[in-house]
């Protein structure tokens, strides 16, 4: 499988609690957990404080065949957290061209808002975020681990 779509939850400082909840009540298996302290090692722009150093930058849980991603932040920087803007779709593919094609197809519609242009960052050769005409935020990511 080289393509998957996962549900992504932003938890506003409660990601650790949410992860524990899903592990306990839904038998979720923890596949990945990255804290802000971990991210600081590869991204010098991260500002660590005593309050946020153990916050979750990214995590992946598996419940049955479905992946659930959980982090602290919403997709739009400085956006005020509200239930509703804390859920997005994360489309991942091990095919670089496929990620680029999805992104280009989406932004060809003038109703789509680019939140973060598709570009290389510390964890992917191609990562971007858009918002569709219906308010759904979509993350697109090239991920070689899916091969």
- The domain locations on the chain are 7-71, 89-146
pLDDT tens readout for residues 15-39: 999 999 899 988 999 999 999 999 8
pLDDT tens readout for residues 122-141: 889 999 999 998 788 899 99
pLDDT tens readout for residues 55-101: 999 999 999 888 999 998 877 777 787 777 788 999 999 999 999 99
CATH dotted code for 89-146: 3.10.180.10
What pLDDT shows up at residue 13? 86
**Which superfamily does 7-71 belong to?**
2,3-Dihydroxybiphenyl 1,2-Dioxygenase, domain 1 (3.10.180.10)
Contact 133, 109 (CB under 8 A): yes
Separation CA 41–CA 15 (nearest Å): 20
Alpha-carbon distance values, 59 to 10, 38, 104, 106, 134 (Å): 11, 12, 27, 26, 26
Residue range 110-119: mean pLDDT, rounded: 95
Q: Does the predicted TM-score (pTM) go above 0.85?
A: no
């Amino acid at each position: 499988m080289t393509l998957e779509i996962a549900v992504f939850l932003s938890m506003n400082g409660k990601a650790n609690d949410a992860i524990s909840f899903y592990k306990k009540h839904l038998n979720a298996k923890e596949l990945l957990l990255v804290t802000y302290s971990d991210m600081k090692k590869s991204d010098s722009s991260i500002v660590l404080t005593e309050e946020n150093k153990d916050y979750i930058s990214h995590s992946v849980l598996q419940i049955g065949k479905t992946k659930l991603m959980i982090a602290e932040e919403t997709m739009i920087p400085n956006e005020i957290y509200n239930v509703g803007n804390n859920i997005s779709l994360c489309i991942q593919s091990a095919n670089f061209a496929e990620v680029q094609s999805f992104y280009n197809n989406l932004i060809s519609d003038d109703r789509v808002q680019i939140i973060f242009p598709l570009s290389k960052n510390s964890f992917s050769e191609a990562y971007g975020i858009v918002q569709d005409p219906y308010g759904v935020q979509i993350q697109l990511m090239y991920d070689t681990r899916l091969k």
